[in-house]
Amino acid sequence: MSRPTLLALQILVAVVCIVLWQVLSTVPVFGKILLPPFFFSNPLDVFSQIVKWFSSGVIWKHLGITLTESILAFVIGSTGGVLVGFWFARQPLVAAVFDPYVKMVNALPRVVLAPIFALWLGLGIWSKVALGVTLVFFIVFFNVYQGVKEVSRTVLDNGRMLGMSERQLMQHVYWPSALSWMFSSLHTSVGFAVVGAVVGEYLGSAAGLGYLIQQAEGVFDVAGVFAGMFVLSAFVILIDYGVTLVERRLLVWRPTASDGRG
Amino acid sequence: MSTPTAVALEDAKVAFRLGDGRVYTAVEKAHLAVAQGEFVAIVGPTGCGKSTLLNVAAGLLKPAAGSVKIFDRPLAGLNRDAGYLFQADALFPWKTALDNVAIGLEIQGTSRAEALPRAQKWLTSVGLGAFGGRYPHMLSGGQRKRVALAQVLIRDPKILLMDEPFGPLDAQTRQVMGNLLLDLWNADRKAVLFVTHDLEEAIALADRVVIMSAGPSSRIIGDWRVSLPRPRDIFEVRLDKEFHALHREIWSVLKDEVMKGYAQSTQAAEAV
């Protein structure tokens, strides 16, 4: 299928959905409105709400807060994950001792930590960052741990035979291998950083996209809830696109599935 | 005056402790000497421990008994005089071909600015001058072997250890690579220990062909000198009468071991 056709079909899906939504929420079918506006609002209202947010400029502050929280959560969580992952992989004893605890903490649904973080760190951005960090950390940690442990035996032996010292092996073999695993989970970890931020805001805050949605919900403003959801989706798609660009730059050396050769 | 011995395995025995506590003896009392400038090929049936023997010479593996001497000095730790060409892909996948070759020098402390032009020269001499910017996954299997060869040779090791380096390649590429190896080797004649299961390849390349018996507890059971004139062309040398005579002679010994090795591996499979 050619690109324009595909794009046309993709847009068609959106148009059909929005038109159906608009029609079903405003025009009675057999004397009954199938999507009551109180519960479902309608696309026009949602759209005008979004326009109002952007034209008045209030949305920028919330977007900025959520973005800051996501970035901080990602950076802190990744750094911690890389360092601990590296340490555990190089010290099997440490890894063995901490193994059950790591599993236990990772098994915990992170949302229940939100109230604790709110208590400890207040309603500002840091309680949201902390929630995001607990999500990002484990993804990066497991990937880096795996990456260091699964360095190809042959590549390692080759490094040794070429005369690499332990430090050089670290720099030229373990480190790039671990980073490549970390980058392969980049989409997931960035996504989780945003999840942490938004869920944290939703559960208690004074600003951010999650706060916006929660406020709208509190006054039964369904158009506001949907508007918040759409802005959030667009926000995540933009970030994800950014991640794709970074990835393409950093992982040029990696074969992609579409490559003919293995 | 005799030439110095580059690699000497003296009654080297290699054994592994298995998971269930038993000891598996891979190689029993191997005695082998490679003189400086000599190209020795080790041939044996699958699973005879020929790669194991190479790892002992590289210092990647410690012999259970006996000793390894490199230029008449007992080997402790890794063999710093040796370059090792692996059977599997051993290039650093996150480095370009050029960086993969340059790294051998950079490790020794050569500055990058100095290492890169020399790496480029080596890439050119293995026929990949225009491919320096490619990452290993963008190269074919044969091209990757060429880069690996340059990576090892740029350090100018006194000894070359090769573990079925052309094993994964197709028949034509193997011959081309064999000729490339002979050309490069001819320039300065390093001591080479070349492991292969392909007797024809061994005779075409080497000065001496060493045959190992089927494992476990395999031993060296034959040692033939190949007196075909050098420089050789692998395509041509295979048509030589002497080549055929030697091949027939060695094969008559090797055949039994191959059958034994095959029988053992099928029995082992049935036992499981």
Poorest-pLDDT segment among A247-256, B119-128, B177-186, B235-244: A247-256
Per-residue model confidence as pLDDT tens digits over B144-158: 999 999 999 999 999
Q: Is B235 on the interface with A (CB under 8 A)?
A: no
**Token pair of A259 as six digits:** 């490559």
Chain A residues in contact with B151 by the CB 8 A cut-off are 162
> Is A163 close to B155, i.e. CB distance below 8 A?
yes
Query: Interface pTM (ipTM) of the complex?
Result: 0.87
- For residues B223 and B68, the answer to whether their CB atoms sit within 8 Å is no
The overall average pLDDT reported for chain A is: 89
Quick one: closest CA in A to B152, which residue?
Answer: A162
Chain A residues in contact with B152 by the CB 8 A cut-off are 162
- What pLDDT, on a 0 to 100 scale, did the predictor assign at position A84? 93
> Is A253 close to B135, i.e. CB distance below 8 A?
yes
Q: Is B135 on the interface with A (CB under 8 A)?
A: yes
Does residue A181 register a pLDDT over 90? no
Cα separation, A155 vs A227, in Å, equals 52
> Is A154 close to B88, i.e. CB distance below 8 A?
yes
Chain B residues in contact with A164 by the CB 8 A cut-off are 107
Interface test with B, best of A162, A171, A179, A181 (most B CBs within 10 A): A162
Quick one: closest CA in B to A175, which residue?
Answer: B94
Per-residue model confidence as pLDDT tens digits over B57-107: 999 988 888 889 899 888 888 988 999 999 888 999 999 999 999 998 999
C-alpha separations of A257 from A62, B133, B267 in Å: 38, 21, 39
- What pLDDT, on a 0 to 100 scale, did the predictor assign at position B2? 62
Chain B residues in contact with A259 by the CB 8 A cut-off are 137
The size of chain B, in residues, is: 272
Please state the separation of Cα A142 from the chain's center in Å.
17
Chain B residues in contact with A250 by the CB 8 A cut-off are none
Quick one: closest CA in B to A173, which residue?
Answer: B92
- What pLDDT, on a 0 to 100 scale, did the predictor assign at position A261? 41
- What pLDDT, on a 0 to 100 scale, did the predictor assign at position A15? 95
A to B CB pairs, distance under 8 Å: 69
Cα separation, B29 vs B13, in Å, equals 5
Quick one: closest CA in A to B96, which residue?
Answer: A253
Chain B residues in contact with A161 by the CB 8 A cut-off are 58, 60, 78-79, 82-84
**Token pair of B236 as six digits:** 């041509």
Mean pLDDT on A193-199: 92
Mean pLDDT on B198-202: 91
Closest CA–CA distance from residue B62 to any residue of chain A (Å): 15
Quick one: closest CA in B to A250, which residue?
Answer: B94
Closest CA–CA distance from residue A176 to any residue of chain B (Å): 7
Chain A residues in contact with B91 by the CB 8 A cut-off are 155, 158
**Token pair of A106 as six digits:** 């990772």
User: DSSP states of B213-237 as a string?
Assistant: PPSSSB-EEEEEE----SS--HHHH
> If you search the block for the tokens 């051993």, which residue do you land on?
B90
Partners of B85 in the β-ladder: B162
Cα separation, A104 vs B220, in Å, equals 55
Cis? peptide before A176, omega within 30° of 0: no
> B 147-176 residues with CB below 8 A of A?
151-152, 155
- The shortest CB-CB distance from A154 to any of B90, B104, B135 is to B90
- What pLDDT, on a 0 to 100 scale, did the predictor assign at position B218? 85
Identify the DSSP state of B135: -
C-alpha separations of A186 from A100, A143, A172, A181, A204 in Å: 26, 10, 21, 9, 27
> If you search the block for the tokens 């092996």, which residue do you land on?
A169
Could you tell me what percent of chain B has a pLDDT over 90? 44
What number of other Cβ atoms are within 10 A of residue B8's Cβ? 21
Q: Is B108 on the interface with A (CB under 8 A)?
A: yes
**Token pair of A53 as six digits:** 């947010």
Does residue A262 register a pLDDT over 60? no
> Is A157 close to B94, i.e. CB distance below 8 A?
no
Q: Is B143 on the interface with A (CB under 8 A)?
A: no
Mean pLDDT on B200-210: 93
- What pLDDT, on a 0 to 100 scale, did the predictor assign at position A256? 67
Quick one: closest CA in A to B85, which residue?
Answer: A158
- What pLDDT, on a 0 to 100 scale, did the predictor assign at position B72? 87
**Token pair of A86 as six digits:** 């590296």
Could you tell me what percent of chain A has a pLDDT over 70? 97
C-alpha separations of B28 from A37, B5, B50 in Å: 86, 22, 11
- For residues A72 and A125, the answer to whether their CB atoms sit within 8 Å is yes
